[in-house]
């Protein structure tokens, strides 16, 4: 199955004091990589033939020489980034798009592989943690999801939780001990070694 992976970097970094989160240093590596570099390496090991893009344009990431997708519309938050990712995948003839937050320093290749392979015919696959969908560790069918995302953008329904519920997301099961791999860094207090 062909896959496009989008690493979402489009936030304003206000909660990290203006530092682009993807450029923070990942823990527990001999030569510490930035979070985006580590996630790129993880994805390449998991799915070596996948297309990899950054979703959201930020000048701080230009040195990485990865394609950057601008959001499909301004001021619509992450839903606009998802529209851009699904649209780019569809235009490239790629049926499946994986959306990943840039600030997951503990994600490992086998979990990405399982996400890519799980329930291959489902329009959307994502885990649920504490009763909430995880839209940025999720796999989307590019064409069908793009149409729904664009309809929600036009109607002003910007909730990602609402999108995943409306489309009937398939639950991705996490094995014991895997939840920590989806732990993200939202505030400076989150930055700590892996549990």
Q: Pick from 20, 167, 17, 5: which is nearest to 86 by CA?
A: 5
- The number of distinct structural domains making up the chain is 1
Q: Is residue 19's pLDDT more than 80?
A: no
Question: Residue 133 falls within a domain, yes or no?
Answer: yes
Q: The whole model's pTM is what?
A: 0.91
Angle CA 138–125–29, to nearest 5? 35
* Confidence tier at 129 by pLDDT (50, 70, 90): very high
Q: How many CA atoms lie less than 13 Å away from 37 in the CB half-sphere? A: 15
Question: Residue 80 falls within a domain, yes or no?
Answer: yes
The residue ranking higher by pLDDT, 5 or 24, is 5
CATH of the domain at 129: 3.90.550.10
DSSP code, position 70: P
Question: Residue 50 falls within a domain, yes or no?
Answer: yes
Can you tell me the mean pLDDT for 21-37? 79
* Confidence tier at 23 by pLDDT (50, 70, 90): confident
pLDDT at 25: 83
Question: Residue 25 falls within a domain, yes or no?
Answer: yes
Question: Residue 151 falls within a domain, yes or no?
Answer: yes
Which of 60-69, 70-79, 107-116 has maximum average pLDDT? 107-116
Domain of residue 185 covers: 3-190
Question: Residue 195 falls within a domain, yes or no?
Answer: no
| Low-confidence winner among 11-20, 86-95, 103-112 (lowest mean pLDDT) | 11-20
pLDDT at 195: 44
Q: Pick from 73, 109, 83, 120: which is nearest to 6 by CA?
A: 83
């Amino acid at each position: 199955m062909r896959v496009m992976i989008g690493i979402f970097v489009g936030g304003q970094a206000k909660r990290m004091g203006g530092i682009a989160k993807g450029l923070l240093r990942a823990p527990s590596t001999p030569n510490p990589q930035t979070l985006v570099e580590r996630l790129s390496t993880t994805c390449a090991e998991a799915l070596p033939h996948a297309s990899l893009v950054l979703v959201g344009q930020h000048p701080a990431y230009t040195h990485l020489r990865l394609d950057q997708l601008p959001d499909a519309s301004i001021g619509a938050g992450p839903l606009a980034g998802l529209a851009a990712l699904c649209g780019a995948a569809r235009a490239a003839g790629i049926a499946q798009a994986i959306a990943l937050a840039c600030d997951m320093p503990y994600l490992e290749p086998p979990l990405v592989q399982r996400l890519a392979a799980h329930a291959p015919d489902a329009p959307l696959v994502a885990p649920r943690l504490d009763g909430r969908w995880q839209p940025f560790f999720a796999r989307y069918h590019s064409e069908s999801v793009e149409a729904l995302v664009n309809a929600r953008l036009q109607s002003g329904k910007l909730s990602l939780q609402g999108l995943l519920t409306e489309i009937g997301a398939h639950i991705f099961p996490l094995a014991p001990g895997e939840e920590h791999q989806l732990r993200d860094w939202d505030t400076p207090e989150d930055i700590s070694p892996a549990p």
